[in-house]
Amino acid sequence: SNYRERSTIYGGLDTVTGTCTVQFYAKANTDATIAFVNTLQHHYPQQRLVLIWDNATYHKSKEFRAYLNTINAGTTEQTRKVHCIHFAPNDPQQNPIETVWMQAKQYIRKKYLKSESFSTIKKIFLEYIQNHRYTGKNMDIYYPKSVNI
Tell me: the pLDDT tens digits for 76-88? 988 999 999 887 7
The proportion of the chain whose per-residue pLDDT surpasses 70, expressed as a percent, equals 82
CA distances from 92 to 50, 69, 139 (A): 18, 29, 11
Question: Is the pLDDT assigned to residue 136 strictly greater than 50?
Answer: yes
Residues 6+ apart with CB under 8 A from 71: 41, 81, 82
- Name the pTM for this structure: 0.80
Query: Would you give the distance in Å from CA 125 to the centre of its chain?
Result: 14
